Structure 1
Amino acid sequence: MSLSNPHALAIAYAPSTPVSHVQFDACLRPWCIALAIYLLAMTWLMLGEGDFVIADWLYALRGGGWRLREHWLTVGVIHKDGKMLSQLMWLGTAIFTGIIWHRPEWRAWRRPLLILMASVVLATGVVAMIKHAVPMQCPWGLQRYGGSGMHIGLFEAWPVNIPRNACFPAAHASSGFAWIALFFFFLHVRPHWRWWGLGFGLAMGTVFAASQELRGAHFLSHDLTTIMICWGVSLLLYGVFRGRAQA
């Protein structure tokens, strides 16, 4: 199939299943189950000190200390280049959307692409807003791990004489987990590809999250919260715009 024939490409890659055939309840149920698991996990991580159990183990991996905090791989490649990759992916999606916008044969792709872009922006934005609104220490800043700060729980009052830190939830991981929205994008255009989309978003976010935990930038609870936010935002937008499409 020639790339010079956009009409043929549009026919080949047109949505294979009408949006109305994809039940929203079937997408909501897994998120609700995940939410229940998340709440149980957070109970252990934050109230049962599970975060410290995991962070202690990571801290001791290389003889004590966050040896990968300034490593070229975690900082240069995964953090800086990883963030740029996510931004370029969004930009590429926007450019592609602009190219096909006035082509009638690609009409069925317009709404799914807009929802995808909106999901990524909104998910990362919500995580960033919460992070700046909720004071929380990073592991590397705690006395327990060689820093100078004291641990203050999520639901504890933040002392007025202690500078506010912004470490919850995990913002960098959201650059990857936001692409969980690919699951819902493919539900619109290629339902049988949806699990590949979900796997890509989870894999990208997990790499970013693991790197930050190895650096001492976040606890596991921070990353799990980011996953639930990104997934929830994508699910919400899918439900809202799906309903409008059926109206």
Structure 2
Amino acid sequence: MKSSYVRFAALNLIGLLLSGLLFTWIARDGALDFRLAQLFFDPVTHGFPLRISGPLDFWGHTMLKLFTVWILVIAAVVLVVSNWVDALKPWRRALFLFVLMAGCAAFVVQTLKGVSVHSCPWDINTFGGTAQWFPLFGPIGAMSGSGLCWPGGHASGGFAVMAGYFALRDSKPKLARAILWFSLGIGAVMSLVQMARGAHFLSHNLWSMWLVWATCFVIDALMRIILPPARVAR
């Protein structure tokens, strides 16, 4: 591997380790998560008023989710079409990596969310629900509730777009960085929407971002061995 990639990989490993420790520390007692959730909680009605907000649910939840899904669908379609369109052939490897990494990242997050024992804020007794909160890596509470709320699935759609950064980092560095910032921005917006609705804590979304980045990084490293850029037909 080139020395530039070795440096990139080392920085990623260090960054993932340090951010993982930071996110674990943030979720150790739920203090920050609860403090932010309280900003959107109404103690009078014992609920999150924006949970049933039509515009926020439609534009912030449904439409943003569809937007990120269509990015992946369009990329997959263009990848297939690139087999017959010469102008798209130079983009074939990047498109393939984007679809692969984004799809796998979303799958990882949704799989973990599907077996999670951690409940959403609106299900926790502090916020009008019945479930008991407990630390991410702590003993499961006797009243853990329905679970299925860690990591943040909605935000993962926005963060998954960062697969484009890994796919284009070598060939189109400026475009790759623009995609990275776009992904982080839309992921942050989707995270805020779910926090405002009482659907997720901050730490849920931070771990979603971490898992997406880690998945993309691992796949990118493996594909550099299996399918290096120099061996891709143009």
TM score, norm. by length of structure 2: 0.86
Residue equivalent to 1:237? 219
Query: Structure 1: which 5+ runs fail to align?
Result: 1-18
Where 1:69 maps in the other structure, the secondary structure is: helix
Matched positions, count: 229
State the identity %. 24
Equivalent residue, structure 2, for 1:7: none
Q: Which runs of 4+ in 1 moved over 2 A?
A: 19-22, 30-35, 44-50, 56-65, 102-108, 152-164
1:69, 1:216 within 8 Å by CA — same for their partners in 2?
A: yes
One-letter code aligned to 1:124 = A
The one-letter amino acid paired with 2:216 is S
Q: Distance in 2 between matches of 1:221 and 1:147?
A: 19
After TM superposition, list the pairs within 5 Å mapping 1:1-247 onto structure 2: 23-30=5-12, 32-47=14-29, 49-59=31-41, 65-104=47-86, 106-158=88-140, 163-244=145-226, 245=228
Structure-2 separation of matches of 1:205 and 1:137: 21
Are the aligned partners of 2:123 and 2:145 in contact in 1 as well (CA < 8 Å)? no
1:63-119 deviation per Cα after TM superposition (whole angstroms, max 9, x unaligned)? 974111011232111211111111111111111112222345543321211110011
Residue 170 of structure 1 contacts residue 218 of structure 1 at CA under 8 Å; is this kept in 2? yes
Deviation at 1:157, TM superposition (A): 3.8
SS at match of 1:236: helix
Please give the secondary structure, in 2, of the residue aligned with 1:68: helix
Structure 2, unpaired ranges of 5+: none
Which structure has the greater CA radius of gyration? 1
* Larger displacement relative to structure 2 (152-161 or 85-94): 152-161
Local SS of the residue matching 2:41:
helix
CA contact (8 A) 1:171 1:226 kept: yes
